[in-house]
């Protein structure tokens, strides 16, 4: 592969869902911290519900969304099932001139990619596989510092300990029904009141409305702020300003974001079970990063998890060595 004159052109490709896009974009941004690069975000979809079919049966001509056409990028970073009909063909389309990277386990022949970066708990192996703990993310010291300063007026008056409460919701393996949300809210409120602290609450699109309402009702009387989904998103500022982070156990992304801060993490139990997620949370516990929330808000800090930076370095090493 002929190496380009700088800067690198990188495409971060996904179906546009926030959690999926963040993985591709986070890895691209980590590369850009190492080398000059132009990053283009590409969001794609499929006509007439074809995206639900196996990737082999989806014709590229049925694609919707941003254009995918020459000149192709130097590095293609894709995440999510929706990208597979394109990712699996990009080596051929670019005549080997694009370095093709797939985040997550693609469940496709590995020889269709130059590099696959799955979570370690998936157990995927191969010569072009580089597993990491958790998922690539957009958290960096610079981003945390910038957003903490941007939301200074909102967070500065809040008493310590400041507790970030990051709430996921319904997934294939977990759910957050109203009764669990009520119990969760009471437990969090009791701990924060006992510590004389404050809360910074952020929900996701997957948080069911009844659970969101129950947690808001349980925590609204505390000093703090509950983001209502309007205006600028203070998510990274919450992570940066927290003395402790409570995160629901349903999401690799949310826990990995939190782990990149070095701030003590406590996981909030939810109905349901995933063997892979259980393995991931065990890995975090063994590293001294996270533990189940049982009412305490204090724990030792730890070196921030920098798996995204490590993946970016490995990607460039392989890119430089390709021919």
Contacts of 105 (CB under 8 A, 6+ apart): 116, 118, 119, 122, 124
Each residue's pLDDT tens digit, 179-196: 999 999 999 999 999 999
Give pLDDT, residue 322: 85
Cα 35 from Cα 317, distance rounded (Å): 12
Residue spans per domain, the chain = 8-133+308-321, 141-292
Q: Which residues of the chain have pLDDT under 70?
A: 1-5, 323
Give pLDDT, residue 229: 87
Considering the domain 141-292, what is its CATH architecture?
A: 3-Layer(aba) Sandwich (3.40)
List own/partner pairs for 45-51 with CB under 8 A and 24 or more apart: 45/15, 45/16, 45/82, 46/82, 46/85, 51/15, 51/81, 51/82
DSSP codes joined into one string, 90-123: HHHHTTT-SEEEEES---S-GGG-SEEE-BGGG-
Each residue's pLDDT tens digit, 72-96: 999 999 999 999 999 999 999 999 9
Residues forming beta bridges with residue 99, ordered by sequence position: 75
Q: Note whether 8-133+308-321 and 141-292 share their fold.
A: yes
Kindly report the length of the chain: 323
Give pLDDT, residue 274: 92
Would you identify the CATH topology of the domain 8-133+308-321? Rossmann fold (3.40.50)
Cα 139 from Cα 240, distance rounded (Å): 10
């Amino acid at each position: 592969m002929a190496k380009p004159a700088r800067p690198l052109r990188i495409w971060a490709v996904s179906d546009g869902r926030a959690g999926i896009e963040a993985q591709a974009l986070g890895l691209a941004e980590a590369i850009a911290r190492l080398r000059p690069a132009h990053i283009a975000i590409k969001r794609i979809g499929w006509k007439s519900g074809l995206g639900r079919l196996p990737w082999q049966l989806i014709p590229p001509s049925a694609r919707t969304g941003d254009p995918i056409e020459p000149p192709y990028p130097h590095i293609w970073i894709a995440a999510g099932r929706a990208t597979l009909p394109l990712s699996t063909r990009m080596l051929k389309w670019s005549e080997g001139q694009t370095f093709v990277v797939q985040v997550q386990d693609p469940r496709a022949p590995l020889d269709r990619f130059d590099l696959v970066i799955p979570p370690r708990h998936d157990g995927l192996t191969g010569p072009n596989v580089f597993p990491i703990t958790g998922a690539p993310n957009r958290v960096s010291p610079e981003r945390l510092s910038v957003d903490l300063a941007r939301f200074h007026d909102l967070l500065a008056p809040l008493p310590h300990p400041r507790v970030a409460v990051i709430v996921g919701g319904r997934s294939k393996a977990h759910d957050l029904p109203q009764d669990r949300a009520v119990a969760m809210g009471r437990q969090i409120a009791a701990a924060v009141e006992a510590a004389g602290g404050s809360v910074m609450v952020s929900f996701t699109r997957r948080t069911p409305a009844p659970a969101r309402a129950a947690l808001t009702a349980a925590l609204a009387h505390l000093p703090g702020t509950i983001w209502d989904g309007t205006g600028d998103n203070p998510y990274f500022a919450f992570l940066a300003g927290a003395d402790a982070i409570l995160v629901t156990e349903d999401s690799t992304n949310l826990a990995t974001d939190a782990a990149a801060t070095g701030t003590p993490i406590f996981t909030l139990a939810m109905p349901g079970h995933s063997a892979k997620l259980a393995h991931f949370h065990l890995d975090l516990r063994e590293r001294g990063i996270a533990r189940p929330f049982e009412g305490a808000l204090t724990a030792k800090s730890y070196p921030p998890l920098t798996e995204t930076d490590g993946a970016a370095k490995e990607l460039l090493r392989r890119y430089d060595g390709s021919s």
